[in-house]
Amino acid sequence: MRQRFPLLCLLAATGLVAGCENTGDEEARRTLEAVNVIDESNLNDIMLTVADPEEAVNYFRKATAQQPDRIDLKRGLAKSLVRAQRPAEAAPVWAQVVASPGVTNADRVEYADALIRTNDWKGAEAALAATPPTYETYQRYRLEAMVADSKKEWSKADSYYETAAGLTTRPSGVLNNWGFSKLSRGDAAGAERLFTESLRFDPASFTTKNNLVLARSAQRKYDLPVVSMTQTERAMLYYTAGLAAVKQGDLTIGRGLLQEALDTHPQYFEEAARAIAALDSAPSTGG
């Protein structure tokens, strides 16, 4: 059976070609073109998901050079450039996509995302404004919230963040962004609640843990929160809390936290050691 299966496949393929020959060259050409389109579509999907980002950029750049009128290939190039952390190059490619007849609302939102990554907030706002309000997705509202944040339109930002969080089953990222927004406005208690909620969905995110410590420290709550953490993370969070305490004038508490960081870290914690040395060499001002 193992030897017959490849033979059967070969016979089936031969039969397909023979059938094409019997019905004329034009039908054979159409059949082969259809197979090629399926193969190319699969390859494009692979390049956009699991391929190395730089390899994907090279693939789509070559493909668009060969077929410059293909909007799907331009879209692939733009997405690949964003994946490769090259948003400044992605934005003009997205601009070409948005100017094409086959543009979609998703394209406009992706364009806004690339513009935000290059700090072009006005351009991002314009791209989102060109997207119909009936197009309601997580990505769209997440970006709307960020644009509102950039304009310090806090009530709008809160509304957009809340909507975005309700449109995804994995809201940890948007909750973290919302918490950081609250922290930047001086609402440390509100930020703490959002960071805590974010960690319920992604307990492994060190960025959120660090932000949570910053929010608590802003309220002079310097003890570490009860969240899962490795020994190295614990040392780094002590370090964050220690620096925050020093900046707020609580020098004695800050030094103690920095010492905890130095003692807790499984290796030598050079940054904590330097911070302690700087504190010890500075004139005493209390705290």
Tens of pLDDT along 44-57? Answer: 888 888 788 999 99
Instruction: Look up residue 217 and give its two tokens.
Output: 């420290």
The confidence score (pLDDT) of residue 27 equals 59
Note the pTM of the prediction, 2 decimals.
0.80
Tens of pLDDT along 215-241? Answer: 999 999 999 999 999 999 999 999 999
Instruction: Return d(Cα 65, Cα 73) in angstroms, integer.
Output: 9
Q: Check if the beta carbon of residue 98 is closer than 8 Å to that of residue 124.
A: no
* Domains 53-135 and 145-229 are alike in CATH topology: yes
> Reduced to 3 states, what is the DSSP secondary structure of residue 86?
coil
**Exposure of 256 in the CB half-sphere (CA atoms within 13 A):** 8
Instruction: Return d(Cα 174, Cα 198) in angstroms, integer.
Output: 8
The confidence score (pLDDT) of residue 283 equals 72
| Residues in CB range of 163: below 8 A, 6 or more apart | 136, 141
The confidence score (pLDDT) of residue 41 equals 67
The confidence score (pLDDT) of residue 49 equals 82
Degrees (nearest 5) of the Cα angle 246, 216, 163?
135
Domain ranges of the chain: 53-135, 145-229, 234-287
Degrees (nearest 5) of the Cα angle 75, 79, 84?
145
Class of the CATH-defined domain 53-135: mainly alpha
Helices 105-117/121-129 angle, 10° precision: 170
The confidence score (pLDDT) of residue 51 equals 80
* DSSP of 206-253: HHHHHHHHHHHHHTT--SPPS----HHHHHHHHHHHHHHHHHTT-HHH
The confidence score (pLDDT) of residue 50 equals 72
The confidence score (pLDDT) of residue 35 equals 45
Sign of CA dihedral 202, 207, 213, 215: negative
The confidence score (pLDDT) of residue 4 equals 40
The confidence score (pLDDT) of residue 3 equals 43
Sign of CA dihedral 160, 165, 166, 169: positive
Instruction: Return d(Cα 223, Cα 213) in angstroms, integer.
Output: 8
The confidence score (pLDDT) of residue 39 equals 60
Sign of CA dihedral 121, 127, 132, 134: negative
**CATH superfamily label, 145-229:** Tetratricopeptide repeat domain (1.25.40.10)
> Reduced to 3 states, what is the DSSP secondary structure of residue 235?
helix
- Per-residue pLDDT of the chain in tens (287 residues, 90 and over written 9): 444 433 333 333 333 333 444 445 665 555 444 444 446 667 888 888 878 899 999 999 999 999 999 999 999 999 999 999 999 999 999 999 999 999 999 999 999 999 999 999 999 999 999 999 999 999 999 999 999 999 999 999 999 999 999 999 999 999 999 999 999 999 999 999 999 999 999 999 999 999 999 999 999 999 999 999 999 999 999 999 999 999 999 999 999 999 999 999 999 999 999 999 999 987 765 44
The confidence score (pLDDT) of residue 282 equals 78
